[in-house]
Amino acid sequence: RSVGTGRAHAKLILLGEHAVVYGAPALALPVPQLSITASAGFSTRGGEPAGVSFTMTGSAWKQVETQASEGLRRLTTDFRASMGIDDARHLDVIIDGSIPLGRGLGSSAACARAVVLALFDLCGREVSERTTFELVQTAENVMHGKASGVDAVTVGATAPLLFQAGEARTPDVGCDALFVVADSGTVGSTKEAVDKLRESFRRHAGTQERFVRQASDLTREAVAALAAGEPAALGSLMTEYHGLLRDGGLSTDRIEAMVGAALAAGSLGAKITGGGLGGCVLALTQPERAREVTQRLHEAGAAQTWIVPLRRLVTHA
């Protein structure tokens, strides 16, 4: 094969981010309408030394090109070793996509997954979910320190999932609702956020245990609310979870304004999602309020918004 291709989508964390790093459960959703594609080929340019070049298209990608490439480079080295590609052929990988970077939407994991799938496709080889996960985690661990793995699984999932300690299962979904996702327009570094929380836990005895316990309780209650078809209960749990992340120093003024605006416009719940320190707000909303919520989020500073319907994700599973 002269070109291999791979694709992966964005993800949203409903509840459980950060606590999942310490072994707590996290509820996450795939976001099929935002994705990244990768195309891989052996270089046709003469004189390239054996290695890999990444070309990322789209201006937003430029900022993080070097940082992202480091993780991707590591996974490519592991891929070469596992496939026994020890010849002098150079790999060219082109990455393009619609997931904005550093917004808690899983761009780095999606990028890594798309590259893994493209590399195996190039070699005409099937790849197991386990191997894909491990290679994505190789890149994630370079970029994020120690990643829980929730992003690596969700960017390839076709249904909502409950993730804990490396294992994922599909939760029961008994209700319909819309998620309005609003981008604050500010990049947040997941690594910085994870390090910040860890440092604060280190300085204040007992805070890690309390955070993990409270976060786990909220996530478990949310799983029950989702199964029982109680969107209002799910919404309040999301807002409560936002409080935990805000108290952990992971919100920003713009995010606070956006969460407030979504709630004032009638959202059932709203929170920051993903790593934090910027990124996106996730608002759970009845369909008839979606227009108003979206408008208020824009007024509060959202740079762009998307609608993710829960029901569609479930019926497509």
Helix axes 231-247, 253-264, angle to 10 degrees: 160
Q: Supply the minimum distance, in Å, between the C-beta of residue 48 and ligand MEV.
A: 34
Binding mask 21-50 for ligand MEV (x = CB under 6 A): x-----------------------------
- Which residue of 118, 150, 181, 283 would you call a contact of ligand MEV, by CB under 6 A? 150
Among the residue ranges 1-9, 16-24, 68-76, 231-239, the one whose residues contact ligand MEV (CB under 6 A): 16-24
> Minimal CB distance to ligand MEV: which residue?
148
Q: Which is nearer to ligand MEV, 155 or 175 (CB)?
A: 155
- 289 lines the binding site for ligand MEV (CB under 6 A): no
Residue the block writes with tokens 């990643």 = 147
Give CA–CA dist 239/262, Å, rounded: 11
Q: What are phi and psi of 214, to 5 degrees?
A: -65, -45
What's the chain's length in residues?
317
Q: Is 157 in the site for ligand MEV (CB under 6 A)?
A: no
**Residue 36 Cβ, how far from ligand MEV at the closest point, in Å?**
15
- Closest separation in Å from C-beta 190 to ligand MEV: 5
We find the least distance from the C-beta atom of residue 56 to ligand MEV, in angstroms, to be 20
Among candidate residues 192, 183, 202, 177, the one with its CA nearest the CA of residue 284: 177
Q: Is 275 among the residues that bind ligand MEV (CB under 6 A)?
A: yes
Residue number, 148 or 251, with CB nearest to ligand MEV: 148
Give the separation between CA 23 and CA 309, rounded to whole angstroms: 28
Q: Which of 37, 76, 164, 190 binds ligand MEV (CB under 6 A)?
A: 190
| Residue 13 binds to ligand MEV (criterion: CB under 6 A) | yes
Among 24, 115, 147, 182, binds ligand MEV (CB under 6 A): 147
Question: How many residues lie near ligand MEV (CB under 6 A)?
Answer: 15
- Going by their DSSP bridges, the two strands 52-56 and 91-97 should be labelled as parallel
Rounded to an integer, what distance in angstroms lies between the CA atom of residue 279 and that of residue 276? Answer: 6
Instruction: Find the part of the chain contacting ligand MEV (CB under 6 A) among 15-23, 85-93, 166-174, 301-309.
Output: 15-23
φ and ψ of 251, to 5 deg: -100, 180
Q: What's the one-letter identity of residue 146?
A: K
Q: Which stretch binds ligand MEV (CB under 6 A): 113-121, 143-151, 169-177, 199-207?
A: 143-151
Footprint of ligand MEV on residues 79-118 (CB under 6 A)? 104
Q: Which amino acid is at 315?
A: T
DSSP 3-state of 177: coil
Which amino acid, residue 193? A
Q: Is 183 in the site for ligand MEV (CB under 6 A)?
A: no
- Whole-angstrom distance, CA of residue 68 vs CA of residue 192: 15
Nearest residue (CB) to ligand MEV, 17 versus 230? 17
* Nearer CB in complex with ligand MEV: 91/168: 168
C-alpha distances in angstroms, 2 versus 65, 123, 216, 267? 25, 9, 47, 49
Q: Decide the pairing of beta strands 26-42 and 161-164.
A: antiparallel
Q: Which stretch binds ligand MEV (CB under 6 A): 10-18, 94-102, 201-209, 293-301?
A: 10-18
Q: Which of 90, 14, 17 is nearest to 54 (CA)?
A: 90
Q: Which of 75, 119, 70 is nearest to 94 (CA)?
A: 119
Among 9, 18, 80, 113, binds ligand MEV (CB under 6 A): 18
Q: Which residues bind ligand MEV (CB under 6 A)?
A: 13, 17-18, 20-21, 104, 144, 147-148, 150-151, 190, 194, 274-275
